[in-house]
Structure 1
Amino acid sequence: MAKSEYSEERLKKYTDLVSWCRWNPDLWYDLITPEFGGIRLDLDQRVFLRSITRFISVYGVFPRGYGKTMKEFMAMVHAAIWHPDIEISMTAQTKEQAAKLVDEKWKEMIKHYPLIENEILGKPSITTDDVDIRFKSGGRITTLANAQSSKGSRRHRLQIEESALLNNNLFEDALAPIVDVPRRTIGEAVVNPEEMNGQINFFTTAGYRGSDEFQRNLQMINEMAELKGKIVLGSDWKLAVHYRRGQSKAAILNKKANYAPTFFAQNYESKWTGNTSGGVVDIQKLLNLRILESPEFTPSKDYEYILSIDVARSSRDSNNQSSVAVLKLIKNKIGKLKSIQLVNLINFKNGMNFRQQGIEVKRIRNQYNASVVVLDTNGVGTGLRDELLLDVDDPKDKKNLGCWDTINTDYVPEIPNSPKYIFEFVGQSFNHEGIVAFMDMVESCTLELLVKDNNKNGLDDINYSDKAYPHIQTDLLIDEIANLKLKQLSSGKFTVEQLTKRINKDRYSALMMGVWYIKEFMSSYKEPEKIDYKKFMMIN
């Protein structure tokens, strides 16, 4: 065989190897798996990796503990090695979250596949908010945020983490154009028509029905059926347990017994929850209101705060869900309301009686120097009101917590001329107006909520002074609102119904009452009085 023929034969074999490795990422990983300590891929994981390699877009909905982020990263590393000069980014809600994910998976990757280190050019640059891993092939792995700050960036592929939190307007404006420019081959610099150019994959735990991402999921299912190069994958917790990955069946069932129904349904059963139609508000608009980065535990200077309280029905643990919404009013220079910020959301538990709840409410009011406490006195709320009308000392430090009076009733406090803090919200009289006010504040984007805390994996019963607690309570608030259906009575007025009684509506009720009070009594402003300066001029 001539030398040229021999070279061509070897080149053909090499190109066949490259094609085989590109098409079968799981088998390539098998080749580089060490005898001890490597990952033995299960059948579902092989399907996962091959889908990313072979489809222009993958939508994966998987439970916590499934291992989806690791498989995403494995697909990114595979592409970076076998597609010279390719640039791929993993995105998350913030660059810090994306960097943390990639940092963790990179360390895990090197541990299980030490040969990968031979493909790296220099030392990876990994900081708290940025990642840049460069390969000898010219490939590059970086991170981006699901935010406007990513607008104008250029990558060849994207892996979007926790896409259920994604705003579609943001996606189309800032993220989708990132992959507009395809990778070109080395040497001839042409676009390979068989390559997954412009690939964007979406991976997440389940979210809310009616959201943008739920609609994208349905659309991609249709496009999958129409053979448009897209595929939707998913499973619940049972698949990983079947392959003995992650937690045991007993541990997960224990979580089902202790966690909120919506949290478990989304995070372990991969179920999209809530209304598709007939909800109190558009769930996507509600999710878009989650823009506050941090809760507040002390009041900001020159801002007004109010408390709004929905009172528990009984003192039993299973039914004690008194909720306190802490609302901050943001006004412009002339006193007109700009926004209402839910800076904290507190849930009383552990069977607290009305006296204990009354003490806690007074502590919270003093903590924020709230001007008004809106109180649900429809039914058992009268018990808490009666306690607030009494003079009481704090059992912890013996300081006097004071005695309160009501604003809109004739009930007499224990001490005459006590400060008027309590506004009694009687559900039967104000409920319709409260629902309308809440809908208006969401529709006008006046309401602002805390962002999701992705660092908290569960709903543990932590202390409500913990910084993560208000974020978790806001998650539960969204769950409650998603579980509500708007109903119009024969009188023409609105009420709400729960789709499932297992999900409370106490947090929603507390927020609704506070929003109504602010709209009704605190959003108006007076026009500056016009002064006739001629009255002060000595002119005949």
Structure 2
Amino acid sequence: MERIYINMLSFALGVVGFPDLFLDLIKPKTGGINLHSDQRVYLRCIMRFVAMYGVFPRGYGKTYDEVLGMDLVAIFFPDIDLAMTAQTKENAAELIKDKHTEIMKHFPILQNEIEGKEKFSKGDAEINWKSGAKIDNLANAQTSKGQRRKRINIEESALLNDELFQDALKPIVEVPRYTIGRLGVVDPCELNQQINFFTTSGFRGSDEYERNIKMLNDMIQLRGEIVLGSSWFLPCWYGRGSTKSQILKKKKEMSPIAFAQNYESKWVGCSDGALVDINKLMICRSLVSVQNKAMNDEEEFYLGVDVARSQNSSNNQSSVSVAKVIRTKDKTKIITIDIVNIINIPNILNFTAQACRIKQIQRVYNARGVVVDGNGLGAGLIDELLKESFDPITKEPLGCWDTINDDNQPEVQDAIKIVYNLKAQTAQSKIVTTFIDMVDSGKLRLLQKRGINDFTEKENDNFIDSVAPFLETDAFFEETANLKLKHLPNGGVTLEKVVKKLDKDRVSATIYVLWFINEFCRDIYNNSDYDFDFDI
């Protein structure tokens, strides 16, 4: 009898170290799943190391393996509390629900280990096990502060900043699991306080990039941590996710940075000489919702417009950055400048059509000023803005504009003075330093990061107004991370791209309008207050 117990205990301990072999034993004859060699390594690592950092591409199946590992831990370790954290509780709940349901189909015998019925709702997921263990969800936010779990897995960790991690997430695993036997002690061989990180790659210079490097060094020094990663080649070779032809098609359609992050698992951007601190820029992404129009006459909006010098297509693709100024009650100081929307004007439109679109945007926001880069191609757009325009569909007049800082003559006399014809080269250093100051001070606010699965069906139906602004903000973030400061012989600074073929039109439109507001509009709070000296 003693030998039987010893064999059972040895088997149980072996299962913990070799979970893939245990899954082979319980796999059904039909309808199951054959684990690939990289998935076996993944599961063994998550069971053996104090901390794991996994950087994997889209379609790898990392979340499936992650939840599978959590299910097995819940079976093998009685009374343990596990949690998956993500950017929002809703996202974490959805991930647990989808992957756990899929796992139960592949390994139906595991259903016998569950106590009662799984509880899934929009913002919560809870799975109770007969072992006394529990799996639930938390958010990568201050709302998780004070929670206690024995182990946690952090999803999309590239979006995390270290200050939040140290303050709200790391203390979650402060209390270890006690054995449920007569002694009730902490097992020194157990992976108590385990925190695992899983993500697609992010930006160089971020807190998570530094954590990744630190854990890599700790792995070399045999300190109980491990870092795993792969590009799209590995899952594609095994037949998981998209096919090679599908991924190569995406490579042609996506920006170089987006593809490098999502499929090549490369940390992108520049860490030395970066335009701004990428961590501070991530903190700026705090706006929850888009604003598609002015709600009243008191709201204060300005537009920044840039005509891109695109190397990918024809050179007349424009971006419009919509900036909303939030002031103190007495209107004397600016609290924040919110980029509530970034609108891309397709490059198939000529300057006449682009001018009409810009005037339409100005009308819905009742914008008080429109800053346009008048260098090069921008001069053509300025010319069209100073002509009378008509809606191409309704033929409704959109008005004629005039510049407020030069002698250009509009087509119509007494046209509204609203266009600032910016010669960016003459104020480049100040434009750049203003943007850096806005980010460092936290005065700039951008739309938050949202995944494709975070949008509701209603939002997806209204894609242009509800989803596109978040995606454009993502593109703005990519463009910013691709820029570094270049110091000029005269003591000034300018911007230089790391990846040459990636445009910077969204960044340019935004930094122009931020500079304009900071330079000329700090005291403007009435619609009639345009009486300023606009000389640079």
Q: What's the TM-score bracket when you normalise by the shorter of the two chains?
A: over 0.9
SS at match of 1:465: helix
Q: In structure 2, which of residues 152, 160, 167 is the aligned counterpart of residue 158 of structure 1?
A: 152
Q: In structure 2, which of residues 191, 210, 219 is the aligned counterpart of residue 215 of structure 1?
A: 210
Matched, 1:347 2:363: no
Q: Which residue of 2 aligns with 1:455?
A: 452
Q: In structure 1, which of residues 23, 26, 46 is the aligned counterpart of residue 17 of structure 2?
A: 23
TM-superposed deviation, 1:66: 0.2
Q: In structure 1, which of residues 121, 124, 129 is the aligned counterpart of residue 123 of structure 2?
A: 129
Q: In structure 2, which of residues 384, 393, 415 is the aligned counterpart of residue 418 of structure 1?
A: 415
Q: Which residue of 2 aligns with 1:296?
A: 291
Residue 525 and residue 411 in structure 1: after superposition, are their counterparts in 2 closer, same or farther (change >3 A)? Answer: closer
Q: Where do residues 375-524 of structure 1 align in structure 2 (5 Å cutoff)?
A: 375-455=372-452, 465-524=464-523
The whole-number CA distance in structure 1 between the counterparts of 2:14 and 2:521 is: 68
Equivalent residues of 1:81, 1:119 under 8 A apart: yes
The whole-number CA distance in structure 2 between the counterparts of 1:348 and 1:67 is: 36
Q: Which residue of 2 aligns with 1:532?
A: none
Equivalent residues of 2:74, 2:134 under 8 A apart: yes
Equivalent residues of 1:124, 1:133 under 8 A apart: yes
Equivalent residues of 2:400, 2:410 under 8 A apart: yes
The whole-number CA distance in structure 2 between the counterparts of 1:450 and 1:465 is: 15
The whole-number CA distance in structure 2 between the counterparts of 1:34 and 1:366 is: 63
The whole-number CA distance in structure 2 between the counterparts of 1:315 and 1:83 is: 56
Letter in 2 for 1:418: A
Letter in 2 for 1:163: S
Residue 216 and residue 316 in structure 1: after superposition, are their counterparts in 2 closer, same or farther (change >3 A)? Answer: closer
The whole-number CA distance in structure 1 between the counterparts of 2:108 and 2:453 is: 31
> Which whole-Å deviations, capped at 9, do the CAs of 1:449-502 have from their partners, x for residues lacking one?
1111212699xx998724111111111111111111101111111101111211
Residue 456 and residue 127 in structure 1: after superposition, are their counterparts in 2 closer, same or farther (change >3 A)? Answer: closer
Q: Which residue of 1 aligns with 2:256?
A: 261
SS at match of 1:201: strand
SS at match of 2:491: coil
Structure 2's unaligned 5+ residue stretches are 526-536
| CA root-mean-square deviation | 1.8
Q: Which residue of 1 aligns with 2:184?
A: 189
Residue 316 and residue 109 in structure 1: after superposition, are their counterparts in 2 closer, same or farther (change >3 A)? Answer: closer
Structure 1's unaligned 5+ residue stretches are 1-5, 527-540
TM-superposed deviation, 1:318: 4.5
Matched, 1:143 2:140: no
TM-superposed deviation, 1:391: 1.1
The whole-number CA distance in structure 2 between the counterparts of 1:209 and 1:315 is: 24
The whole-number CA distance in structure 1 between the counterparts of 2:498 and 2:463 is: 28
The whole-number CA distance in structure 2 between the counterparts of 1:522 and 1:428 is: 21
The whole-number CA distance in structure 2 between the counterparts of 1:148 and 1:457 is: 20
The whole-number CA distance in structure 2 between the counterparts of 1:215 and 1:494 is: 27
Q: Which residue of 2 aligns with 1:535?
A: none
Q: Which residue of 2 aligns with 1:178?
A: 172
Equivalent residues of 1:275, 1:485 under 8 A apart: yes
Q: Which residue of 1 aligns with 2:308?
A: 312
Letter in 1 for 2:35: L
Letter in 2 for 1:515: L
The whole-number CA distance in structure 2 between the counterparts of 1:252 and 1:277 is: 31
The whole-number CA distance in structure 1 between the counterparts of 2:48 and 2:78 is: 18
Residue 315 and residue 271 in structure 1: after superposition, are their counterparts in 2 closer, same or farther (change >3 A)? Answer: closer
SS at match of 1:324: strand
Q: In structure 1, which of residues 332, 349, 372 is the aligned counterpart of residue 328 of structure 2?
A: 332
Letter in 2 for 1:358: A
* Farther-moved stretch of structure 1 (331-340 vs 298-307): 298-307
* Farther-moved stretch of structure 1 (255-264 vs 343-352): 343-352
SS at match of 1:192: coil
Equivalent residues of 1:84, 1:137 under 8 A apart: yes
Letter in 2 for 1:410: D
Equivalent residues of 1:453, 1:468 under 8 A apart: no
SS at match of 1:66: coil
Residue 463 and residue 86 in structure 1: after superposition, are their counterparts in 2 closer, same or farther (change >3 A)? Answer: closer
> Which whole-Å deviations, capped at 9, do the CAs of 1:181-206 have from their partners, x for residues lacking one?
00011122110111100000000000
Equivalent residues of 2:301, 2:365 under 8 A apart: yes
Q: Which residue of 2 aligns with 1:273?
A: 268
TM-superposed deviation, 1:277: 1.2
SS at match of 2:519: helix
Equivalent residues of 2:317, 2:347 under 8 A apart: no
Q: Where do residues 19-58 of structure 1 align in structure 2 (5 Å cutoff)?
A: 19-58=13-52
Residue 376 and residue 248 in structure 1: after superposition, are their counterparts in 2 closer, same or farther (change >3 A)? Answer: same
In the comparison of the two structures, how many residue pairs are matched?
A: 518
Residue 380 and residue 270 in structure 1: after superposition, are their counterparts in 2 closer, same or farther (change >3 A)? Answer: same
TM-superposed deviation, 1:21: 1.4
The whole-number CA distance in structure 2 between the counterparts of 1:14 and 1:462 is: 56
Q: Where do residues 57-68 of structure 1 align in structure 2 (5 Å cutoff)?
A: 57-68=51-62
Matched, 1:243 2:242: no
